Amino acid sequence: MSNHPPPPAIDAVILCGGLGTRLRAISGDLPKALVAFSGRPFIDILIESLLPFGFRRFILLVGYSSKKIREHFRGREYEVIFSEETEPLGTGGALKNARHQIMSSPFLLLNGDSLCPTDFAAFRQFHETCGGILSIVLARPLAEIDYGIIDMDEACRITAFREKDGTCGGRFINAGIYLLDHRVFDLMPEALAFSLERDLILCLLPQGCYGYVTDGVLIDIGTPERYHRAAAFLSKK
């Protein structure tokens, strides 16, 4: 548990709008967020990992099969808001589409198909101390493939993102967990559809982006291979 006092509540924004085509062999016609993992919908596991840190307002960025996700979240003890895209907008476009529903600054943004144990109170304190526009949780991967690498200087300021090369062992990767200041919306591309990582985050480097290193392992269910790898890892714990 955190040694830091609970900070004022902020919004938690979760990317749930992907088509999930790579996971279709496991998910069938379910959206990725509702795929069973350890016997429960993955999105429930993700949200329940946030509740002990005071998060109570969740904004789900939905698209494919949004009706099923809406039905799943009826009658919850916390607030759930849906930002729906009527056409594919990419991860960056989906976030931009939710601009007026996100009330806090900073706000937490998470991928809806991955999980990494994180002290969110300490992460927020790190973000506010660094004073950048964006902070990213960095983790270690379960395997030596599939992930790009992040380079940082001694002050934990991110200097570069390197493409996937299959040799990420011993280095840190993007865990898909971000703290962003609300002013990020003023720096977004004019296009409606764009990628968070390729079209936005790279452009934010001059504004100050920092990496928060955690000793947690990234649990990623985005593909059948990753799903089974994560399940095997957890079964040994």
CATH number at 45 reads 3.90.550.10
Residue 234 lies in a domain: no
Write out pLDDT tens, residues 96-154. 999 999 999 999 999 998 889 999 999 999 999 999 999 999 987 766 556 678 889 99
Residue 90 lies in a domain: yes
Residue 110 lies in a domain: yes
Q: d(Cα 78, Cα 83) in Å, to the nearest integer?
A: 16
pTM over 0.85: yes
Other CB atoms within a 10 A radius of the CB of residue 61 amount to 25
Q: Partners of 80 in the beta sheet? A: 58
Of 142, 127, 119, residue with least CA distance to 228: 142
Residue 94 lies in a domain: yes
Print the domain residue range for 124. 12-138+176-214
DSSP-H helix ranges across 42-89: 42-48, 66-72
C-alpha distances in angstroms, 102 versus 11, 13, 40, 61, 230? 7, 8, 27, 11, 31
Other CB atoms within a 10 A radius of the CB of residue 11 amount to 22
| pLDDT for the residue numbered 149 | 80
75-99 mean pLDDT: 94
Residue 224 lies in a domain: no
Residue 134 lies in a domain: yes
Looking at the predicted structure, is the pLDDT value of residue 168 above 80? no
Instruction: Count how many domains the chain has.
Output: 1
Pairing of strands 219-220, 134-140: unpaired
Write out pLDDT tens, residues 178-237. 999 999 999 999 999 999 999 999 999 999 999 999 988 888 887 888 888 877 776 665
The pair of structure tokens assigned to 34 is: 């509702």
